[in-house]
Structure 1
Amino acid sequence: MVTSTALVLLLLATVIVNASAFANSEQVTVSKEVWGHYQGQNILQFTLENKNGMQVSLTNWGAYVTSINVPDRNGKLEDVILGYDSAQAYVDDCCYNGATVGRFANRIAGGRFYIDGKKIQLSVKTNGGNKGNHAHGGEQGFNKKLWQAKQVDEKVEMRYLSPDGEEGYPGNAQISVLFSLNNDNEFSVTFSATSDKATPINLISHIYFNLAGNQKRNVEQHQLRIAADSIVEVKAGLLPTGKLVSVLGTPFDLTSPVTLKKSLITPNSQLKLAGGVDKVYGGFDHTWVFNQYDGKLHYQAQLFEPGSGRVLEILTTQPGVHVYTGNFMNGSAIGKQGKPMKHRHGVALETQHFADSVNQANFPSTLLRPGKTYSETTLYRFGIRQ
């Protein structure tokens, strides 16, 4: 015979078990596979999946984001970033397609700067548009390294120790990137770093977005809005002049949503400096300076693709976003499903500090000193619009 007290306990236990089962069904799952090999070591691929079927895949080669599958307005899941089908293709990648870039993303003039009166000389590019300057961490930046990776609860953490003197940078820098996904279709990337010597740090995730899905058309009809009244002015070589200039009356005015094509076919000397396939107008390869910046997470940008209805909202702790419209993509690189990556088939929205900050006293500082921790987060929120 079951007493009333025992019955209550039995029912309570059943409720707890059922609640636990429901909670587990709502959790984001993480799977892992050996995807390839590099110098005798495994290249891993992790996949995060939420209850909505949204999937984000990552590899510990270069801490790349390799795919983001999200629904369109009809519920169809498609990949909304550029990239490749194999691990080897990421090893051979020319274009930072989803890579973690560092120690210092973007450009440093001549690869030279001073820390406490001491001259630092970094490696410089020997050819191409960045010849003579340091760009994206050097010839063998973080995108060309095999990171240590592990699952941490429902997240994936990747770590890399950048040794003193690598690409000319001072200090042993311990780098960490934490990738997470939730059931609100929010994917976040958090970078952190420490160093035993003063060193500049500017870490980014270099994802090329195409919200049409599966690269079925270019990004010219995407609408972009950025909460920024100014950009970082650049000169030849896309190096900052040190000035912040107003976007008012220019194709850089994205304070309300603007179709990319409309901006990119407007004659403008700053656009022309970006060069590339479009010899007449150029393109975006510039940094927008957010109106609100205090190191906290703020909603700063939105990308919308009318054909699919997909919307991407970007929240970040960073002071700006560098927009690159794939100006040099000419179809020579073959991406997913054997599709060539053509001109303006992706737009990179790189939340970051500003190029050449180490030489520009009026820019937010990128110098990390011993005993301090660098930490920056960017959240990518995906939705739909009917």
Structure 2
Amino acid sequence: MSVIQDSFGQLGHQPVYSFTMVNDHGVEVTAINYGCIITKMMVPDQQGNYENIVLGHDTLDEYVNDPYFLGAVVGRVAGRIKGGSFELDGTPFTLARNENKNHLHGGVRGFDKVVWDAEIVEDGVQFSYLSPDGEEGYPGNLYIQVSYRLNNDNELTIQYEAHADKKTLLTVTNHSYFNLSGNGKRDILEHTLTIKSNQFLELDHELLPTGTFVDVENTPFDFTRERVINTGAASLHPQNKLVGEGYDHPFLLHTNHDREIVLSDPECGRTLAIETDEPAVVVYSGNSLKAEGEFWGVPSRKYLGLCLETQALPDAIHHPEFPSIILDKGQQYSSVTTYRFDCK
């Protein structure tokens, strides 16, 4: 394993660096300390061709102005919070409202829009950030560390650790857009996906959870057996139509650390297996990617990338029946997600 540090620009007086992890097989993962953004994942196909399998940009300015949370760690709370407000122990808190009247992925200046401290560790890089009390409306000074580690089994492990000096909310995820075809040669509609999940969460017209868990059986949301993404994009199911022909839904995982999420591109043979200790994964099929701009020279368009966001359930603070996202004062937050790259 080696880690190569390079300059990636400057934001005000803060330098931004890229960190490229390379294992003995030539697999590379590059991340920057702005937003902990993963900018590249170079992995081989069945012919041994190394290509990038995530959407990314060439310059820091493009990431600063990116509206898609591309490759970033999002938080303090991943997903939507209804009305951009919540209560803790009877005290109301008002958050930044950055999607109509709701709060999305940590707000206007969430974890994705700040420069993190960075330190090279033995097999990767560790980022750290102190989110001050009141940032984007959240209570408490929150100290968070995110580490990216790559090993010779072609596994990238992301570990999140945090604690706060006041009771607050926390659930974070990585928001990479995967495209296993390599360098964006094709969209993700012919990718196949398997998820060990028997239920998904119904959404309302604002894409907020209604609180109803729906059985996946006999629906386009049944990924218990390998399913092509296009079946959801072409589906007339009301939940597929609601999100713009595709998926933007939380799936409740019924197992963890057991290859519970597997994405494949049958044409090139690449597979991505994801294991996590989180209770859910949000599957987003890039329905809102606009035909404006480009990623690594490939014109942006709908379905060019697929997000697999391992996290707690969105808007959990308003649904006591969901797993809690409340982080008590002094409590240690910890979450791990591992990505394994392979070929069929």
TM-score interval, smaller chain: over 0.9
Corresponding residue of 1:310? 270
8 Å Cα contact 2:232-2:247 kept in structure 1: no
8 Å Cα contact 1:298-1:317 kept in structure 2: no
Between the two proteins, the alignment pairs up a number of residues equal to 344
8 Å Cα contact 2:163-2:330 kept in structure 1: yes
1:202 is aligned to 2:175: no
* Displacement after TM superposition at 1:88 (Å): 2.0
Q: Where does structure 1 lack aligned partners over 5 or more consecutive residues?
A: 1-27, 276-281
TM-score w.r.t. length of structure 2: 0.98
* Displacement after TM superposition at 1:87 (Å): 2.0
Q: Deviations along 1:331-362, whole A, 9 cap, x unmatched?
A: 203210x2212110100010110110011001
Cα separation, 2, equivalents of 1:153 and 1:182 = 10
Cα separation, 2, equivalents of 1:51 and 1:347 = 28
Cα separation, 2, equivalents of 1:306 and 1:40 = 46
Corresponding residue of 2:209? 240
Corresponding residue of 2:71? 98
Aligned-residue RMSD, C-alpha: 1.0
TM-score w.r.t. length of structure 1: 0.88
Cα separation, 2, equivalents of 1:269 and 1:224 = 21
1:225 is aligned to 2:231: no
Corresponding residue of 2:343? 384
- Identity, in percent, stands at 40
Cα separation, 2, equivalents of 1:131 and 1:88 = 25
How does 1:38-57 map onto structure 2 within 5 Å? 38-57=11-30
Structure number with the higher helix fraction is 1
Cα separation, 1, equivalents of 2:129 and 2:291 = 32
Structure 2 counterpart SS, 1:238: coil
Cα separation, 1, equivalents of 2:313 and 2:148 = 23
1:284 is aligned to 2:247: yes
Structure 1 counterpart SS, 2:275: strand
How does 1:17-166 map onto structure 2 within 5 Å? 28-125=1-98, 130-166=99-135
Cα separation, 2, equivalents of 1:244 and 1:65 = 32
8 Å Cα contact 2:232-2:240 kept in structure 1: no
Q: Where does structure 2 lack aligned partners over 5 or more consecutive residues?
A: none
8 Å Cα contact 1:251-1:264 kept in structure 2: no
8 Å Cα contact 2:42-2:53 kept in structure 1: yes
8 Å Cα contact 2:235-2:241 kept in structure 1: no
Q: Deviations along 1:130-168, whole A, 9 cap, x unmatched?
A: 300011100111111000001022220001110000110
1:343 is aligned to 2:274: no
Code of the aligned partner of 1:260:
I
Deviates more, 1:152-161 or 1:205-214: 152-161
Structure 2 counterpart SS, 1:110: helix
Code of the aligned partner of 2:32:
T
